[in-house]
Structure 1
Amino acid sequence: MELLDIINLVFWGVLFLVLALKLVSSIKLVPTRSAFIVERLGRYNRTLGPGFHALIPFLDKVPFKVDLKEEAIEVPPQECFSKDEVHVTVDGVIYLSVMDPAKASYGVTDYRYAAVQLAQTTTRAVIGTLDLDRTFEERDTISARVVQVLEQAGESWGIRVHRYEIKNLRPPESVRVSMEKQVTAERDRRAILAKSEGDKQAKINRSEGRKKEMINLSEGTKQQLINEAEGRAAEILALAMATADSIKKIGDVVAEPGGSEALKLQLAERYVEHMQGLAKDKTRIIIPADLTKADSWLSNMGVDIRS
């Protein structure tokens, strides 16, 4: 075999191998949540979505492969100065995803790096308008402002920023010690205030309890006096009614035949018994000369037994 034939055989073999490799490389399998950017003769041609795709060898190529899943990008720590000239160290995390693969590939050199830089500059600008004490309270404000700025830039970069979270916000050690002392003092003040409020409420409760106790005692005494008065009134009424009833019965008996004589006899007996009692006590007594004339001396005693 001549040398020329060998050269031709090698040439066509290499050419076939190159064509075969180009043909194989022109077949693209795009994964889910990914996109391939296709250029034809150096110009943007189309964006390939998930699935099987065949390109034209030597004319088409894939310079960019874009991941469409949401990404968490670390924002490195940076020093920022607050409004009251205190420097704090701030870092965070950006959560974003690519919405337009073509803009993400051609609109900016590196959208991740650009988003981090813009987040840092915006954070410094926002913290510069806040006092140190407010920087710890306004984390949501800082995050919202960073997201707003990134959204405006993201329209031309083909990305969407979902949220920005501040991980750490660290003041200098001297400031941190002072803040801890301030927090401790405030905690002690609240504890003392709570204790004084508790003592005050306890005293109020005790005084209210004594007040209610005295009211209950006075109400009980009042009711007792009312009950005793009602009892005495009922007793007097009962005695009066009994006395009236007995007088009425005596009057009825006296009105009957022989009643007057019986009454006279009973009164005389009681009189005699009374005199005997006085005689035993050696008391000087005066008796009528004629005990048979009971009418006269009973009348002298103020007793009217007439029927």
Structure 2
Amino acid sequence: MQHSNDPTTLRGTHSTDSFDPATYKQKTNIIDEEPTVKPEMVLKNFAKTYETPAPGGYQRFIAGLGSCFGQCGMFCFLCENPYKEVDQGEVGLVQTFGRLSRTVEPGLSYVNTWSERLTRVSIKINIREIPAQKCLTRDNVSVVITSVVYYNIIDPMKAIFSIQNIDNAIIERTQTTMRDVIGGRVLQDVVEKREEIAESIEQIIAKTAFDWGVNIESILIKDLTLPDKVQASLSMAAEAKRIGEGKIINAKAEVESAKLMRKAADILASKPAMQIRYLDALQNMAKSPGTRVIFMPSAQEVEKMAGSNIGDVYVDKGKGKLQDLEEDTDWAGSEHERVASPQRNIPVGINNNRHVADTVALQEAMHQ
């Protein structure tokens, strides 16, 4: 039996019985775990009905009239329409004869126009800017702080019926707490730890706001103003710190530069480097115009010249060898050559071993 090499045939013979879901998930990186759901991410259903006492005769009469006129209001513009609209992001509180009877979700809701009243409450996140206020730190420095508070209503019934004005209450509570927290810290902490201070204020306010049916999302310190004298002193301190850091960087750079220069000096003072410089001097002398007679020194003399560093040497007239200069002589000519009278040794002072070969050749020529 012959096997076909046709790719379509091979694909057709693949069986689904060998399919492994676990292996497929690993290869395709499929995540089958449910994401973590936080309580604040779940949309809360505020629709609720509260128990109310049985209405009396007069209440039933008023409710009946309201129902009748409400039916007329659906067709006649002279009567009030009983269907009220609640926008998304709001919750409707329906009061019957002044008592909370139910809460309604966004949409159209029937409200008796004579006996019931609808109050809309926003459950969206509110942003309130806390007015600038002066706070005294623990080290007796006055600062002006402007902050922002983010909050939302999580219990409309408490927010409406437990406190008269929830917005003003949140602002006043934030200002009072901020003065207390700032008063317990020094100026340095207030300047450097704004987020930590904001978190402390948030934790304190959140406990009270929860009893009001409000959730504090966050508190941010928007602006911090210091007195002019304090700002000047802080600027001077920061500038002095930058200057000190710059000096440290320059000192480190000088140390590294000195190390590199020392390393370069050690390399140039080595015998191979001196020999290369000696050969360069010979090459330069050969390129110069005029006739010169150069006597090549022996290997011992070259090693001696290579081993000597910057210093003074002179040539013995009778022996033609380099010796250390032990006594002062009169200088003549350039700064690299000193020539005395013909009757005495001719000292030749050098500051660089590159001139040694030229000095030796000059001395030998004078002897001849």
Give the TM-score category using the shorter length: 0.5 to 0.7
**1:142 matched residue in structure 2:** 197
**Equivalents in 2 of 1:212, 1:100: separation in Å?**
83
**1:45 matched residue in structure 2:** 101
Out of 149, 173, 183, which is 1:128 matched to? Answer: 183
Identity fraction in percent: 23
Out of 62, 74, 78, which is 2:129 matched to? Answer: 74
State the 1:216 CA deviation: 10
State the 1:56 CA deviation: 2.3
Asked if 1 retains the 8 angstrom alpha-carbon contact of 2:95 and 2:117, the reply is yes
SS of residue paired to 1:84:
coil
Out of 208, 227, 249, which is 1:172 matched to? Answer: 227
Correspondence 1:188 to 2:243: yes
SS of residue paired to 1:163:
strand
Once the two structures are superposed, residues 222-254 of structure 1 have per-residue CA deviations (whole angstroms, 9 ceiling, x without a partner) of xxxxxx9xxxxxxxxxxxxxxxxxxxxxxxxxx
SS of residue paired to 1:72:
strand
Relative to structure 1, the CA distance from residue 47 to residue 216 in structure 2 (aligned partners, 3 Å threshold; closer, same or farther) is farther
Once the two structures are superposed, residues 199-232 of structure 1 have per-residue CA deviations (whole angstroms, 9 ceiling, x without a partner) of 22222343345556778959x99xxxxxx9xxxx
SS of residue paired to 2:164:
coil
**Equivalents in 2 of 1:168, 1:154: separation in Å?**
24
Relative to structure 1, the CA distance from residue 205 to residue 95 in structure 2 (aligned partners, 3 Å threshold; closer, same or farther) is farther
Q: Which has the larger radius of gyration?
A: 1
Once the two structures are superposed, residues 128-164 of structure 1 have per-residue CA deviations (whole angstroms, 9 ceiling, x without a partner) of 1111122111101111011112211121111111111
Asked if 1 retains the 8 angstrom alpha-carbon contact of 2:70 and 2:81, the reply is no
**Equivalents in 1 of 2:138, 2:248: separation in Å?**
33
SS of residue paired to 2:103:
strand
Out of 27, 51, 72, which is 2:83 matched to? Answer: 27
Correspondence 1:202 to 2:257: yes
Relative to structure 1, the CA distance from residue 19 to residue 61 in structure 2 (aligned partners, 3 Å threshold; closer, same or farther) is farther
Alignment of 1:263-274 (within 5 A): none
Relative to structure 1, the CA distance from residue 217 to residue 65 in structure 2 (aligned partners, 3 Å threshold; closer, same or farther) is farther
Relative to structure 1, the CA distance from residue 210 to residue 46 in structure 2 (aligned partners, 3 Å threshold; closer, same or farther) is farther
Correspondence 1:94 to 2:149: yes
Alignment of 1:156-305 (within 5 A): 156-210=211-265
SS of residue paired to 2:80:
helix
Coordinate RMSD, CA, aligned:
2.8
**Deviation >4 Å, runs of 4+:** 15-19, 208-218
Q: What letter corresponds to residue 118 of structure 1 in structure 2? A: R
Q: What letter corresponds to residue 228 of structure 2 in structure 1? A: E
**1:281 matched residue in structure 2:** none
Relative to structure 1, the CA distance from residue 192 to residue 67 in structure 2 (aligned partners, 3 Å threshold; closer, same or farther) is same
Relative to structure 1, the CA distance from residue 209 to residue 162 in structure 2 (aligned partners, 3 Å threshold; closer, same or farther) is farther
Asked if 1 retains the 8 angstrom alpha-carbon contact of 2:91 and 2:106, the reply is yes
**Equivalents in 2 of 1:22, 1:105: separation in Å?**
32
**Equivalents in 2 of 1:160, 1:125: separation in Å?**
21
Whose helix proportion is higher, 1 or 2? 1
**Equivalents in 2 of 1:54, 1:16: separation in Å?**
13
SS of residue paired to 1:24:
coil
State the 1:182 CA deviation: 1.5
**2:116 matched residue in structure 1:** 60
Relative to structure 1, the CA distance from residue 149 to residue 25 in structure 2 (aligned partners, 3 Å threshold; closer, same or farther) is farther
Query: What TM-score, normalized to structure 2?
Result: 0.51
Asked if 2 retains the 8 angstrom alpha-carbon contact of 1:88 and 1:170, the reply is yes
**Equivalents in 2 of 1:153, 1:18: separation in Å?**
45
Alignment gaps of 5+ in structure 1? 1-14, 222-227, 229-307
**2:53 matched residue in structure 1:** none
**1:112 matched residue in structure 2:** 167
Q: Which one has more relative contact order, counting CA pairs under 8 Å at least 6 apart? A: 1
**2:14 matched residue in structure 1:** none
**Equivalents in 2 of 1:25, 1:139: separation in Å?**
53
**Equivalents in 1 of 2:169, 2:78: separation in Å?**
35
